[in-house]
Chains A and B, each alone.
Chain A
Amino acid sequence: MKRIIILGLSLLMTLFIACEDKKDDAAVEESTVITVTTENVNDRSFYYNLTIEAEDTNTWHVSLQNIDAGGGYYMPSIVLNNSVMVTIDNSVNFDELEEIPSNDQWSTDISIVAYGGDNEVLNYDQTNHTISVSNDNILIYIPTTHQVFKLHFDEYSDGILLFQFDEMTQ
């Protein structure tokens, strides 16, 4: 019995030390968050591929476009490629977001983040004529590569948008 207890404690200690080591490794791991400053949407639309971390007008996932808002007006808007799936997770801050949502949380309705959507990223204040940026954490799943990215939009100013993103791994 005594041997079993010693063996059990040894295993627990080993596991504990292993976990501690892993935590240390994570702490020293460099941040992979990438910050992107778009082109001015009033000059041209901006298309970005999250996988290759570069602009790409053919195989893009996230874009900034001026879209027709009706009545002859155009509004800057985030538009996602219809090949991706999206979800919102505001349970923790962007930096602390590590857990990939379960399958049933993903939606193909990419319009939620566009102008007029429930979680529109760029919100136009009709009273003050200003555009503010939503504080939502937006998660994008790319089915073709099985990659998950978290995005956060930081600032919008006269046609230019600043956002950061990072790939999430399980």
Chain B
Amino acid sequence: MLLLTIPALGEASQIVSGRVVDTATKAGIPDVNLFIPSQKIGVATDKAGAFHFTMLKDEKAKLHVSHIGYTSSTIRLNGSTEDMIIALDETFFELEDVVVTSTRTEKLHRNVPVATEVISKKDIIDSGALNVAELLSSRSGVSLQTSVDGGSMLNILGMDSRYILILVDGQPVTGKFNNRVQLDHISTSDVQKVEIIKGPNSSLYGSEAMAGVVNIITSTSTSDQSLNISARYGGTENKLTNDGLNHGSSSYRLGWTHTFGTLKASLNADMEKMETDKEIQQIEIDDIHKQSLRGRLLWLMNADHTLTVNGTVYNHDETGASQLMNTETFIDRTTLILTHDWQMRNGWLWNHALQNHNYSRNYVQTRPWGDVERDDITQEENIEYEGMLKKKFGLNEFNVGLEFSQAAYVSDRVDNGRQTVSSKSIFGQFDVHFWGNINAVIGTRFDMYNEDEPVMSPRIGIMYTFNDRWKFRSTWGKGFRTPSFMERFIDWDHVQFGYRVQGNPDLKPEISNGYTAGVEYYHPTVYQVSLMMYYTTFKNLIEDFAIEPALLSYHNIEKAVYKGLEIQGRWRASSSLVASWGLNIIDNRDGDGNIIPNTQPLSAYCRGSYQAPRHGWGFSTRVKWVGAYTPEEYDPDSGTYIHATETLADYVIIDISTSLKIWNPLIMNFGIKNAGDYTHDRYGPFIGRAVYIELSITLKGD
């Protein structure tokens, strides 16, 4: 029971009791809030969904029933109030969910002024994706390319991951290779949901949030005690060795949570092994081992103070062997974040965090006869302190924050040894409501770097609520990205092809200026449709070019324009059958009006999911279609990337998955990915038809 206020008992009182159940499964729903506003009486359901309390007799009283994940209901208490059965419909649209990314404060998804796309836990499970890179690539408007150096290059709405800020629990992922974040190191088993915001968001997040933000939010068990063990085996149909579904990956996961009084500890361990898989053979690697350990300690010091320690250790080891070369890549990541929340008595909340991120990558090439051809080390270290002060004034909210960070970078491919960049930033945002149906967020951020001119990034987002069903949203914002260490200082002689790449220390920060406008129609239980248009201009985009034959460098180009249209919808045909779909139209052009290579101008996806009521099994299928597009290739004569001579034909990727509850805590998932076995040797996708089976057992206790 979360809250129980018993009024004075007497003849004027009456019992209110019963159960709250799921309309589809008839199962009791725990932790449902029941509240009678006129009498300020509230209670929450127990584990079986039951409730029992006493109220003052009042035939006009209304009982408000609410739960995140279910449609709220209001019942007039003018009849019998004992042994009531209240059925709630599950909301399939995640709009009752709380999102944090677009405003850095917790807001209900349907009430957030800046359009936010959410990939829910159910979507993640249905996708069958093993890591976040794979998960995102199944969406329309998103493509994933495997680089020849390993890892994945993400491309969202035609922008590669240099321009999309990637966060894990609100903190930037450090450790970039080839200037890009690789997301294949984040296992989906740890992920609760993913929030995606399109358009410039540097007003809150600073550098790199030029075209959008992806916030990967990790799982935290809501139970005091829980244990989850899961194991998965997957195989891919390997065209390279042509021996069927014999090779692939296996992964294991252990999640544990325990509460010791005011301390809550959780630990998640993941192991993944890929061997002779088509994806890695494409990059001449024989096997990959990944291990990660994520720990969290939450201490509720008292009613006002909370202290959290988060630590992550990640280790990645990949090897390849041939008759002429053995290769090994070792990647290590460690993260330590100390967070303190102070809820002051005057209503202000002070949240601050000190964090340290370390990344190292060692690439070793050795000849079978012992000669070491290359032993390349890249190391990156980030230390950051950030603090944010928030206060609510009725419906309105104000927050102001500051950040200090120092990043150090050492690489055998970078000239002048160790490089450091420090920055100081302040930001503020006012979330204000006008005339009852307009909600605006107005904010700006000021970043000062030791090597660049100060940058100011404002943003305004407005939502107009026409009625319960229709919402209009529009944002304008500026974004920026500071040039990377590699772009500034690389000094690398590509002996093999006789060219050299040298950095340009005079590069200016890239600047973006973007607008979005959208409309959303929302029916709480049947369907939801949203449409968003975006238009972003870029100044000083950084591109590589040839200074002279065989000498490459980077320079700022004048201008580029990215614009597009995104339509997404969900439809709940019945309590068991849900469908969702999306369509992206992208038109990205440089200053001369030429289409920017690798832009997939047209892509769409649809997903259907059936959950058998009371039988514990579900079925889901997803189809992604990518329209014909022109990829890019390197032209050694000009030293630039140009359109390939061949246009890539449109293609379809089909994924199928099922889940079966074998026994209450034991669930089996089985799926086929890329059922049509579509691959392309040069431009991807490289992974053909794959199957997987996963067993997961979760035990919970209070």
Instruction: Please name all residues of chain A whose beta carbon is closer than 8 Å to the beta carbon of B497 when the two chains form the complex.
Output: 73-75, 124, 129
Instruction: Please name all residues of chain B whose beta carbon is closer than 8 Å to the beta carbon of A159 when the two chains form the complex.
Output: 495-496
Instruction: Please name all residues of chain A whose beta carbon is closer than 8 Å to the beta carbon of B374 when the two chains form the complex.
Output: 158
Known: A71-B549, A127-B644, A128-B148. A162 touches B323 (CB 8 A): yes
A69 and B636: CB pair below 8 A? yes
Instruction: Please name all residues of chain A whose beta carbon is closer than 8 Å to the beta carbon of B635 when the two chains form the complex.
Output: 126
Q: Mark A116-157, 1 if CB is under 8 A from B, else 0.
A: 000000001111111100000000000000000000001111
Q: Mark B435-467, 1 if CB is under 8 A from A, else 0.
A: 000000000000000000000000000000000
Q: Which residue in chain A gives the minimum CB-CB distance to B637?
A: A71
Taking the closest CB of chain B, its distance from the CB of A62, in whole angstroms, is: 17
Taking the closest CB of chain A, its distance from the CB of B180, in whole angstroms, is: 15
Instruction: Please name all residues of chain A whose beta carbon is closer than 8 Å to the beta carbon of B550 when the two chains form the complex.
Output: 71-73
Q: Which residue in chain B gives the minimum CB-CB distance to A159?
A: B496
B549 and A158: CB pair below 8 A? no
Cβ-based interface call for A42 (8 A): yes
Cβ-based interface call for A57 (8 A): no
How many angstroms from the CA of A160 to the CA of B495 in the assembled complex?
13
Cβ-based interface call for B418 (8 A): no
A127 and B549: CB pair below 8 A? no
How many angstroms from the CA of A131 to the CA of B498 in the assembled complex?
14
Residues 319-339 of B contacting A (Cβ, < 8 Å): 322-325
Instruction: Please name all residues of chain B whose beta carbon is closer than 8 Å to the beta carbon of A72 when the two chains form the complex.
Output: 498-499, 548-551
How many residues on chain B are close to A (CB under 8 Å)? 30
Instruction: Please name all residues of chain A whose beta carbon is closer than 8 Å to the beta carbon of B325 when the two chains form the complex.
Output: 157-158, 160
Cβ-based interface call for B365 (8 A): yes
How many angstroms from the CA of A153 to the CA of B323 in the assembled complex?
12
Known: A72-B549, A158-B373. A126 touches B634 (CB 8 A): yes
Q: Which residue in chain A gives the minimum CB-CB distance to B551?
A: A72
A37 and B499: CB pair below 8 A? no
Cβ-based interface call for B212 (8 A): no
A73 and B499: CB pair below 8 A? yes
Instruction: Please name all residues of chain B whose beta carbon is closer than 8 Å to the beta carbon of A87 when the two chains form the complex.
Output: none
Cβ-based interface call for B688 (8 A): no
Instruction: Please name all residues of chain A whose beta carbon is closer than 8 Å to the beta carbon of B365 when the two chains form the complex.
Output: 158
Cβ-based interface call for A66 (8 A): yes
Cβ-based interface call for B631 (8 A): yes
Known: A125-B682, A130-B148. A157 touches B633 (CB 8 A): no
How many angstroms from the CA of A124 to the CA of B494 in the assembled complex?
14
Cβ-based interface call for B683 (8 A): yes
How many residues on chain A are close to B (CB under 8 Å)? 27
How many angstroms from the CA of A72 to the CA of B495 in the assembled complex?
13
Q: Which residue in chain B gives the minimum CB-CB distance to A154?
A: B323
Number of A-B contacts (CB under 8 A): 72
- B682's partner among A70, A75, A128 (CB-CB below 8 A) is A128
Residues 458-503 of B contacting A (Cβ, < 8 Å): 495-499
Known: A42-B496, A158-B496. A127 touches B324 (CB 8 A): no
Taking the closest CB of chain B, its distance from the CB of A75, in whole angstroms, is: 7
Instruction: Please name all residues of chain A whose beta carbon is closer than 8 Å to the beta carbon of B683 when the two chains form the complex.
Output: 127
Instruction: Please name all residues of chain A whose beta carbon is closer than 8 Å to the beta carbon of B373 when the two chains form the complex.
Output: 158
Known: A155-B322, A155-B324, A160-B324. A127 touches B498 (CB 8 A): no
Taking the closest CB of chain B, its distance from the CB of A34, in whole angstroms, is: 15
Instruction: Please name all residues of chain B whose beta carbon is closer than 8 Å to the beta carbon of A129 when the two chains form the complex.
Output: 148, 497, 634
Q: Max chain B CB contacts within 10 Å: which of A66, A74, A126, A156?
A: A126
How many angstroms from the CA of A87 to the CA of B633 in the assembled complex?
31
Known: A73-B549, A159-B496. A127 touches B636 (CB 8 A): no
- A157's partner among B322, B495, B639 (CB-CB below 8 A) is B322
- A66's partner among B498, B637, B644 (CB-CB below 8 A) is B498
Instruction: Please name all residues of chain B whose beta carbon is closer than 8 Å to the beta carbon of A158 when the two chains form the complex.
Output: 324-325, 365, 373-374, 496
Instruction: Please name all residues of chain B whose beta carbon is closer than 8 Å to the beta carbon of A37 when the two chains form the complex.
Output: 323-324
How many angstroms from the CA of A162 to the CA of B323 in the assembled complex?
8
How many angstroms from the CA of A157 to the CA of B322 in the assembled complex?
9
Taking the closest CB of chain B, its distance from the CB of A72, in whole angstroms, is: 3
Taking the closest CB of chain A, its distance from the CB of B546, in whole angstroms, is: 8
Q: Which residue in chain A gives the minimum CB-CB distance to B635?
A: A126
How many angstroms from the CA of A154 to the CA of B635 in the assembled complex?
27
* Interface of B (DSSP majority class): loop
Q: Max chain A CB contacts within 10 Å: which of B496, B497, B631, B682?
A: B496
Known: A127-B644, A130-B148, A158-B373. A71 touches B636 (CB 8 A): yes
How many angstroms from the CA of A66 to the CA of B498 in the assembled complex?
9
Instruction: Please name all residues of chain B whose beta carbon is closer than 8 Å to the beta carbon of A125 when the two chains form the complex.
Output: 682
How many angstroms from the CA of A76 to the CA of B324 in the assembled complex?
16
Residues 55-91 of A contacting B (Cβ, < 8 Å): 66, 69-76
Q: Which residue in chain B gives the minimum CB-CB distance to A42?
A: B495
Instruction: Please name all residues of chain A whose beta carbon is closer than 8 Å to the beta carbon of B639 when the two chains form the complex.
Output: 71
Instruction: Please name all residues of chain A whose beta carbon is closer than 8 Å to the beta carbon of B549 when the two chains form the complex.
Output: 71-73
How many angstroms from the CA of A124 to the CA of B323 in the assembled complex?
20
How many angstroms from the CA of A74 to the CA of B365 in the assembled complex?
22
Instruction: Please name all residues of chain A whose beta carbon is closer than 8 Å to the beta carbon of B367 when the two chains form the complex.
Output: 160
B548 and A127: CB pair below 8 A? no
Instruction: Please name all residues of chain B whose beta carbon is closer than 8 Å to the beta carbon of A124 when the two chains form the complex.
Output: 497
Instruction: Please name all residues of chain B whose beta carbon is closer than 8 Å to the beta carbon of A70 when the two chains form the complex.
Output: 637
Q: Which residue in chain A gives the minimum CB-CB distance to B282?
A: A128
How many angstroms from the CA of A158 to the CA of B633 in the assembled complex?
21
How many angstroms from the CA of A66 to the CA of B496 in the assembled complex?
9
Instruction: Please name all residues of chain B whose beta carbon is closer than 8 Å to the beta carbon of A156 when the two chains form the complex.
Output: 324
- B498's partner among A74, A126, A130, A160 (CB-CB below 8 A) is A74
Q: Which residue in chain B gives the minimum CB-CB distance to A74?
A: B498
Instruction: Please name all residues of chain A whose beta carbon is closer than 8 Å to the beta carbon of B148 when the two chains form the complex.
Output: 128-130
Taking the closest CB of chain B, its distance from the CB of A156, in whole angstroms, is: 8
Instruction: Please name all residues of chain A whose beta carbon is closer than 8 Å to the beta carbon of B637 when the two chains form the complex.
Output: 70-71, 73
How many angstroms from the CA of A37 to the CA of B374 in the assembled complex?
19
Q: Max chain A CB contacts within 10 Å: which of B323, B499, B633, B639?
A: B323
Residues 295-342 of B contacting A (Cβ, < 8 Å): 322-325
Taking the closest CB of chain A, its distance from the CB of B312, in whole angstroms, is: 31
How many angstroms from the CA of A127 to the CA of B632 in the assembled complex?
7
- B323's partner among A69, A74, A126, A155 (CB-CB below 8 A) is A155
B634 and A162: CB pair below 8 A? no
Instruction: Please name all residues of chain A whose beta carbon is closer than 8 Å to the beta carbon of B324 when the two chains form the complex.
Output: 37, 155-158, 160, 162
Taking the closest CB of chain A, its distance from the CB of B151, in whole angstroms, is: 13
Instruction: Please name all residues of chain A whose beta carbon is closer than 8 Å to the beta carbon of B499 when the two chains form the complex.
Output: 72-73
Q: Which residue in chain B gives the minimum CB-CB distance to A125?
A: B682
Q: Mark A36-61, 1 if CB is under 8 A from B, else 0.
A: 01000010000000000000000000
Taking the closest CB of chain B, its distance from the CB of A159, in whole angstroms, is: 7
Q: Which residue in chain A gives the minimum CB-CB distance to B632?
A: A127
Chain A interfacial positions (CB closer than 8 Å to B): 37, 42, 66, 69-76, 124-131, 154-160, 162
Given A129-B497, A155-B324, A158-B496; 11 other pairs, CB 8 A cutoff: A37-B323, A37-B324, A42-B495, A70-B637, A73-B497, A129-B634, A131-B496, A156-B324, A157-B322, A158-B325, A160-B325
6 closest A-B pairs by beta carbon, nearest first, are A72-B549, A72-B550, A157-B324, A74-B498, A157-B325, A71-B637
Q: List 27 A-B contacts (CB under 8 A).
A: A37-B324, A66-B498, A71-B549, A72-B499, A73-B498, A73-B636, A75-B498, A124-B497, A126-B635, A126-B636, A127-B631, A127-B632, A127-B634, A127-B682, A127-B683, A128-B148, A129-B148, A129-B497, A129-B634, A154-B323, A155-B322, A155-B323, A157-B324, A158-B365, A158-B374, A160-B324, A162-B323
Chain B interfacial positions (CB closer than 8 Å to A): 148, 322-325, 365, 367, 373-374, 495-499, 548-551, 631-639, 644, 682-683
